[in-house]
């Protein structure tokens, strides 16, 4: 009988999973993203401007011999122009075969959140174009960081600018 009671308790216990997230600031708003998607975080390097790219693409950077596109995440989310400070960083995300750096104003912390601490966004939030990148709201004691869908941001950033051509092939094409 005692074994049946113990098994019933185990069966009714809902196992909660938690994951690590990085929190960062864009302007006055705090966001977070899963750490599992991050390759690394770097200080602001020299960024080479690239002509004819969307306004939120700052250019490219050299990351130990690899050329990585850099996106101003604040501008990409429609939150206005960014201001650089000594706290500004680039979070380098690696998703499938794409590596992209996102400029953020500051990193605030790494935290662990359970599924119960993340609430889906309201329909009102999702109705805006930029709101489609928010997949949750993290419920912390005294703040509510917005959880971003980084793969969706990358997917929606693809365009004619993202076509992959070999440099010499592109240079030899006639207009």
Residue 116 lies in a domain: yes
Domain membership flag for residue 175: no
Query: Is 68 contained in some domain?
Result: yes
Whole-number average pLDDT of the chain: 82
> What is the DSSP annotation of 52-100?
S--TTEEEEEEETTEEEEEEEHHHHTT-------TT-EEEEEEETTEEE
Higher pLDDT, 109 or 159: 109
pLDDT in tens, 12-53: 445 568 899 999 999 999 999 999 999 999 999 999 999 999
Domain presence at residue 169: no
Buried b / exposed e along 120-138 (16+ C-beta atoms within 10 A): eeeeeeeeeeebebbbbbb
Residue 1 is assigned to a structural domain of this protein: no
Q: Is residue 104 within 8 Å of 115, Cβ to Cβ?
A: no
Q: Which domain holds residue 52?
A: 17-155
Tell the burial category of 173 from Cβ atoms under 10 Å away from its Cβ (0-12, 13-18, 19+).
exposed
Residue 164 lies in a domain: no
Instruction: Provide the CATH number for the domain around residue 23.
Output: 2.40.50.180
Q: Is 32 helix (H, G, I), strand (E, B) or coil?
A: strand
Residue 119 counted as domain residue:
yes
Predicted confidence at residue 80, as pLDDT, reads 85
Helices (H) and strands (E) in the chain, counts: 5, 11
**Region 55-75 average pLDDT:** 95
Asked if the structure places residue 42 within a domain, the reply is: yes
Count of the separate structural domains present in the chain: 1
């Amino acid at each position: 009988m005692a074994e049946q009671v113990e098994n019933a308790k185990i069966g009714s216990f809902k196992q909660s999973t938690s994951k690590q997230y990085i929190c960062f600031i864009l302007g006055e708003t705090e966001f977070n993203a899963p750490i599992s998607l991050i390759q690394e975080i770097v200080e602001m390097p020299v960024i080479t401007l690239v002509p004819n790219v969307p306004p939120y693409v700052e250019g490219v950077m050299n990351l130990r011999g690899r050329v990585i596109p850099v996106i101003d995440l604040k501008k990409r989310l429609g939150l206005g122009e960014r201001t650089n400070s000594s706290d500004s960083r680039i979070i380098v995300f690696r998703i499938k075969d794409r590596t992209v750096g996102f400029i953020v104003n500051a990193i605030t912390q790494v935290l662990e959140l359970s599924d119960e601490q993340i609430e889906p966004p309201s329909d009102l939030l999702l109705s805006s174009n930029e709101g489609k990148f928010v997949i949750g709201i993290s419920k912390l004691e005294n703040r509510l960081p917005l959880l971003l869908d980084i793969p969706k941001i990358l997917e929606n950033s693809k365009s004619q600018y993202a076509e992959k051509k070999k440099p010499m092939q592109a240079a030899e094409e006639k207009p």
